[in-house]
Amino acid sequence: MHKNMMLLITAVFFLPSVVSAQEHPGFRVMGRHLYDNCDEKVILRGIANPNIWFQKSGLPQYTEIEKTGANVVRIVWDTTGTAAQLDEAIANCIDLGMIPMIECHDATGKWNELENVVSYWTRPDIIEVIRYHEEYLLLNVANECGNASVSAAAFSTGYENAIEQIRFAGIHVPLVIDGTDWGKNIDILQSEGPDLIDYDPDHNLIFSVHMWWPPMYGYDENDIIDEIAQSVNMGLPLIVGEFSQMHGSCSDELNETNAIAYFTIIEQCHLNQVGYIAWSWFGNCNDLWDMTTNGTYATLYDWGEEVAVTSQYSIQNTSVRPYSIVHGGECNPDALEDHKYLNHPEGFELGQNYPNPFTAGTQIKYNVFAAGNVTLAIYNIDGRKIRILADERTSAGSYSAYWDGSDDSGAPVASGLYLYQLTFKHDNKITRESGKMMLFR
């Protein structure tokens, strides 16, 4: 998928699909964004740290990473880690005011290892650790699971099974799902992601593409721009979970064919409110993948220093740590009166329908940040109202809907451009937003 969608749309039918904020134990995904328990939007900005290969506790590396202002650490882990070691690795990260995103490396490039990774996360002693830290935790199910041969159908079925087992085990934190082909495949996240979100009873998923996208693999700078834009337009909750300045083998030197446009990655992530996590702090077989020379802040160099500190789009210049994790779970007292309106003063957030253009029907999602009256109507290009899809009072939450292209009488409408309008009334304040969608018969 290297083309942007033709038209944008927002909002339609009223079918609640996500449990409300208070039913989540900690972070939750609404629309394409991540929020904490205080409804503060969190744009992830961080660094991967290979705990499992060095100090499993994460120290002293966490202390050095904290100096960059990172709000998340992607904790590299595997199934040899004990529950006690995992507990320490997570707790140390939280103590420094950073969000722990734990990932399991055993299935890297190996699709048949997904089940073994899920078995590790759902082991009783590991569940106990996850549940203890669930207020602040993100669970990256399996690092880069599967090579380029994994089909979309297999990916969907495999992660449906994983989601089912993890949720049944009582784990309700946001689940992060990597693309196949060692994380590089964003197309499979775009095609299967929306259905996986619907399959998850918590609707609490984030999708992670690893942008190991140098020219030698057929990528260029425009692919970064286009694919992030397409994911944003379809409302996909996406992060760039790994990237560096180059890719290749342990002995390669940096050159024009293996160089990655990392500046474009952090620029586009910032401009589109997409999270990013750099690979990695130190310890790789090729030091060109390291951000530091020995794991200390003082030895940040070249691309690592630019991504972490000096660029206008760097971690230090764009990262915001949630008030709640810095202050032991408390919400910002300056925002308690109506904190949900800090990011969305209009009271709602409209998502893009998918697919668009569409033929038989299309899925639409939107978020409401306070109780209020929602009215949704569809108009033809002449401005005539052809269907009222919602006219009800709703509570705060995320909603998913489906429009089949029919009018109020149930008759199918003709091909063409249609307009929608969502009206939201809260505390005698009325706000509206409109958009476009294209129907082909």
The confidence score (pLDDT) of residue 190 equals: 97
The confidence score (pLDDT) of residue 344 equals: 61
pTM: 0.76
CA pair distance 79, 271, nearest whole angstrom: 37
345 CB-near residues (< 8 Å, 6+ apart): none
Preceding peptide of 100 cis, ω within 30°: no
CA pair distance 176, 142, nearest whole angstrom: 8
Q: Apex CA 398: angle with CA 396 and CA 400, to 5°? A: 135
37 CB-near residues (< 8 Å, 6+ apart): 21, 24, 26, 27, 135, 324, 329, 331
CA pair distance 283, 291, nearest whole angstrom: 9
Can you give the C-alpha Rg of the chain in angstroms? Answer: 22
Listed by start position, the domains of the chain span 41-321, 339-439
Phi, psi (deg, nearest 5) at residue 234: -90, 0
The confidence score (pLDDT) of residue 389 equals: 83
Do 41-321 and 339-439 come out as alike in CATH topology? no
CA 32 from chain centre, in angstroms, equals 7
DSSP H/E element including 41: strand 41-42
Q: What is the DSSP letter of 290?
A: -
Q: Which two tokens stand for residue 108?
A: 């890297």
E strand spans, 179-336 = 205-210, 238-242, 275-278
CA pair distance 152, 51, nearest whole angstrom: 31
Query: In order along the chain (441 residues), what is the average pLDDT of each group of 10 residues?
Result: 34 32 75 90 97 95 98 98 98 98 98 98 98 97 98 98 97 98 98 95 96 97 97 95 96 97 98 97 96 97 98 97 92 60 64 80 79 84 85 78 87 89 81 84 86
CA pair distance 282, 289, nearest whole angstrom: 8
CATH superfamily of 41-321: Glycosidases (3.20.20.80)
CA pair distance 14, 348, nearest whole angstrom: 14
Contact call for residues 21 and 37 (beta carbons, < 8 A): yes
CA pair distance 249, 227, nearest whole angstrom: 26
CA pair distance 373, 309, nearest whole angstrom: 45
Helix and strand numbers (H, E) in the chain are 11, 18
Preceding peptide of 124 cis, ω within 30°: no
Q: What is the DSSP letter of 438?
A: E
What's the fold here for domain 339-439?
Immunoglobulin-like (2.60.40)
Q: What is the DSSP letter of 361?
A: -
The confidence score (pLDDT) of residue 343 equals: 54
Q: Which two tokens stand for residue 417?
A: 């451009």
